[in-house]
Chains A and B, each alone.
Chain A
């Protein structure tokens, strides 16, 4: 009987609401970490009773944290995989909630001194799989290409691998960087390098226009081309939750989707949903 009483007490405690009302943890995509921080800062100014902690680590890390219960909100720059959804369902008996909160044009960066302005999707694939190793093979200057990639916990890595490399493996020459900022920093310093990441990180590097194939027009990622999908590497950025949002989390999500929250998206360098 004692055990049953204990379990009932624990049940009531759980139903009575989150133990730390007013605290929200947001974890996941490094691509979105600046955006998440800006949202959190702005929201906390207006709601000082709420504390929001935003950290990165990669979309995969954020999704694992959501499944393990160590974050309230997961930021992800890729969709959850079926196996991840299954884990969430098995643990929480819930399908989870996916909320697209912004759009991004996954961008291919080169050094600002690189004379090339456009590449086809296939050429980008050839570079990152190691089949093309010198810029002169693509009509550029004679120089050994140095590709910079991301760690496999990154949603950007997964998206790039699926959509550009078509699931082929990255070249062993590709150097993994811990975040998009590190990729941009490396590409900005090394004249023969190439990297990829979110459109918001574009200072000190050149963003290459992408052609779906040799006969297609070269398109740069901007608000119009990303929102209408004509840019080949347009992608949504997501919030994932375990259950339908309620209380403080709902208020924060509502703010993110409001005109105010979406306005910040553009200020950071991404693109609003509408």
Chain B
């Protein structure tokens, strides 16, 4: 092809140099059949005497030009090879949610009580680069609420040992369990299980992570700040200097994946105070006293286990059975001026089981049952006034629905969720979190 291009090149140059024939009748002539003798492309050469005497290129001329082209190709190839290491991907989830507690109007504090809405749940854009012993990953999420940095990973990749070590610094999903690490673009249900959302809000933290894999063995551990990104009070750094350790060790046997996870660190809960306020006039003055900001520090321990089994139902399709469990214990520790009390200890746990049955290549049916238990009300000798939050909540959610895959790039889902147990119908701040809902979603990804 290169030689043909080179041979054709002088003809092309000659044709360029010659004056363009004005409305040549030949231009309208029928194209000869392909088996007819080819008309030499360099016919216009006759119009240029200077070119007509030019010697035909020799083999060495062609060879030299070929070498030149190869050199140019090598440069282009190096550039293309380099660019091919950059991968851009992303997905957008457009969603309609219909809520049980939604109703027209506003509440007593003028907050709307309409929660049925269309919105952009996720607008992800991810860029990765895999170079020599290095990987770069940046992911942002652009929605109606703004643009948020989700992942920013700088990784050093081992290519010398059989363990494929990967050391990552930056902001990443914490290595715990299965659902935290599963991509929201792959997940069948609209959101993660309630206990996962409570334990790992936004799933991401900043720190240093080490991963290793060999055959079926999987290991991932990280040292992180200990407060998750987008924290409402401490968005940028942990309020305590201690770092948290978190990790998962597991096995991947193709059809069966199992893992054990754990974490240990320090946590602080902060209840923001407010200044005193005075309202009313004359003899009807009401003074609302100031409330001091309250801090409680904890040693936080978490353990968890996860299992996923992938089976094949003949003539139907793949069946995935997934389950996960996690337990958290917050042990209150003293702060200056605030002695520790067992009554402030909090334990919580959660679990889910899920089944996803693919029916053919384009349809899926999903069902998930999850439960979140938050308990700090059973301490012997503690009274409600001594407890951090005197509640004993058990919230169970049963969800399920249909998935429809239009192609490799588009997915539709219709999922209903029914909440049992703890439900809030009066606190607008919790509307949409503890009510029944139906979610329709269209996801496009590239």
Binding site for B on A (CB under 8 A): 3-4, 7, 10-11, 14-15, 18, 67-70, 82, 85, 89-97, 152, 166-169, 172, 175-176, 242-244, 246
* CA A93 to CA B360, docked complex, whole Å: 11
B residues contacting A by CB (< 8 A) are 74, 77-78, 81, 84, 132, 159-160, 182-183, 186, 213, 252, 254-255, 308, 310-312, 314-320, 356-365, 402, 404-405, 407-408, 414, 440
- Name which of B74, B255, B356, B358 has the most chain A CB atoms within 10 A of its CB: B358
List residues of chain B with CB within 8 A of the CB of A10: 362-363, 404
A176 contacts which chain B residues (CB < 8 A)? 77, 81
A to B CB contacts below 8 Å, 11 in the list: A3-B440, A11-B402, A69-B361, A82-B213, A89-B310, A93-B320, A94-B317, A94-B318, A94-B320, A172-B78, A242-B361
CB distance from B354 to the nearest CB of A (A): 10
Nearest-neighbor residue (CB-CB) of A65 within chain B: B408
Bound CA span A10–B414, Å: 13
* A67 to B308 alpha-carbon distance, docked (Å): 19
* Residue from B132, B254, B318, B402 in contact with A93 in the complex, judged by beta carbons closer than 8 Å: B318
* Chain B residue with the shortest CB-CB distance to A243: B312
Q: Within 8 Å CB of A246, what residues of B?
A: 314-315
The reply to whether B364 and A15 form a contact with Cβ atoms under 8 Å apart is: no
In the bound complex, do residue B363 and residue A11 qualify as a contact, i.e. CB atoms below 8 Å apart?
yes
Q: Name B319's closest neighbour in chain A (CB-CB).
A: A93
With contacts A14-B363, A70-B408 taken as known, whether A94 is within 8 angstroms of B312 at the C-beta atoms is: yes
State in angstroms the CA–CA spacing of A268 and B370 once bound together.
55
Q: In the complex the two chains form, is B310's CB within 8 Å of A94's CB?
A: yes
Find the A residue at minimum CB distance from B185: A90
Nearest A residue to B78, CB-CB = A172
Within the complex, the shortest CB–CB distance from B11 to chain A, in Å, comes to 26
Flag if B360 contacts A69 (CB, 8 Å). no
Q: Kindly list chain A residues whose C-beta atoms are within 8 Å of the C-beta of B182.
A: 90
Say whether B362 contacts A152, CB under 8 Å.
no
8 Å CB contact of B365 from A11, A169, A244:
A11
A68 to B308, CA, bound (A): 22
Tell me whether B402 and A7 are in contact (CB under 8 A): yes
Closest 4 CB pairs of A and B: A94-B318, A14-B360, A68-B408, A93-B318
Bound together, the chains give a CA A91 to CA B361 distance in angstroms of 9
Contact A69 B408 (CB under 8 A): yes
Minimum CB–CB distance from B199 to chain A (whole Å) comes to: 22
Q: In the bound complex, how far is the Cα of B157 from the Cα of A167, in angstroms?
A: 11
Contacts of B314 in A (CB 8 A): 244, 246
Given known contacts A11-B402, A246-B314, is B361 in contact with A92 (CB within 8 Å)? Answer: yes
Which chain A residue shows the least CB distance to B310? A95
Beta-carbon nearest neighbor of B361 in chain A: A69
In the docked arrangement, what's the CA distance between A269 and B296, Å? Answer: 73
Known contacts A93-B310, A166-B160; 18 additional CB pairs below 8 A are A3-B414, A7-B402, A11-B365, A14-B360, A15-B316, A68-B407, A69-B405, A69-B408, A89-B308, A91-B405, A93-B357, A94-B319, A94-B358, A95-B310, A175-B77, A176-B77, A242-B361, A243-B318
